[in-house]
């Protein structure tokens, strides 16, 4: 494991995500993930499992200060007072007095972005969050957020997999000293049926999941979130630091991009995406 440096933050390059993970699974698998070496745990208010994530971390022998913990404020809490109260509630559920990274989950702009960024800065200044960031932002929104924020924006968490071209967003992040945190790397399972990925995985003696996660983190400044409720798969996902994909094979994976490759774009939440 190594860390990705971004605007003063040092974020473990491979994270363990808990999206759509029931609390009982969180209580079982997060301690296992920490035991095998994961040090970056990602949750969100809307996932409904912050309390279980907090319990799992609290009961782990791994020290809290050695864990990079991310959560996200949901769009119905973007008004200033609701925002501050929701962060306090998240901290209580997570059984900690700070999170390492707090994100705006989606760019819902019925609340002015300046108000959202202002609240992010307020909880950062209060020491409740060590770093701040955004999620599902276009390059235009990233630029606006950076301009509005006193504290540095350290990441934009977005959909990244072999079938979507996020080059513009990645380049904009690098220009601003930010990282990209990649979710949906398995493209909702599509990667497992891909003959190109199957052949390359065989070439490296790895699984398709390992190949794709490695492809993600070999992009400069990109962090990968993995997710599983299986102990064996969690161990497999973590085992991606003992090989390197060649430049030609990196390009072959990136060449799988499709024009309609985006999977996650919910009505009422998604911004006007970059072409």
Q: How far apart, in whole angstroms, are the C-alpha atoms of residue 21 and residue 258? A: 29
Active site residues: 47
Q: How far apart, in whole angstroms, are the C-alpha atoms of residue 164 and residue 187? A: 9
> Percent helix, strand and coil across the chain, each rounded to 5?
45, 20, 35
If we measure between CA atoms, which residue out of 94, 108, 7 comes closest to residue 44?
Answer: 94
Parallel/antiparallel/unpaired status of strands 3-6 and 9-12: antiparallel
Q: How far apart, in whole angstroms, are the C-alpha atoms of residue 181 and residue 166? A: 12
Helices (H), the chain: 23-36, 50-59, 80-94, 113-125, 139-148, 167-175, 195-204, 208-217, 231-238, 247-254
Q: What is the DSSP code (8-state) at residue 52?
A: H
Task: Compute, in degrees rounded to 10, the torsion defined by CA atoms 116, 119, 125, 130.
Answer: -60
Which two structure tokens, joined as six digits, stand for 271? 């911004």
Residue with tokens 């990274």: 101
Phi and psi at residue 88, to the nearest 5° = -60, -40
Is 105 annotated as ligand-binding?
Answer: yes
Annotated binding-site members for substrate: 105
């Amino acid at each position: 494991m190594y860390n990705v440096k971004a605007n003063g933050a040092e974020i473990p390059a491979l994270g363990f995500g808990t999206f759509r993970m029931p609390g009982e699974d969180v209580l079982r698998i997060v301690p296992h993930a920490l035991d095998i070496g994961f040090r970056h745990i990602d949750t969100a208010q809307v996932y409904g499992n912050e309390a279980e994530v907090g319990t799992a971390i609290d009961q782990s022998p791994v020290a809290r200060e050695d864990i990079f913990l991310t959560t996200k404020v949901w769009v119905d809490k973007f008004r200033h007072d609701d925002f501050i109260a929701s962060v306090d509630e998240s901290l209580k559920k997570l059984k900690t007095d700070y999170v390492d990274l707090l994100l705006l989950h989606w760019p819902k702009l019925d609340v002015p972005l300046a108000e959202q960024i202002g609240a992010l800065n307020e909880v950062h200044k209060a020491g409740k969050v060590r770093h701040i960031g955004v999620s599902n932002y276009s390059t235009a929104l990233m630029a606006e957020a950076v301009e509005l924020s006193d504290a540095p924006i350290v990441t934009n968490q977005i959909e990244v997999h072999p079938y979507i071209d996020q080059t513009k967003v990645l380049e904009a992040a690098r220009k601003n000293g930010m990282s990209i945190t990649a979710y949906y790397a398995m493209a909702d399972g599509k990667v497992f049926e891909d003959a190109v990925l199957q052949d390359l995985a065989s070439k490296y003696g790895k699984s398709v999941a390992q190949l794709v996660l490695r492809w993600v983190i070999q992009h400069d400044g990109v962090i990968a979130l993995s997710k599983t409720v299986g102990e064996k798969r969690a161990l497999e996902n973590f085992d991606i630091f003992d090989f390197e994909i060649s430049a030609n094979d990196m390009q072959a994976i990136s060449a799988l991009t499709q024009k309609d490759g985006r999977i996650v774009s919910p009505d009422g939440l998604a911004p006007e995406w970059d072409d």
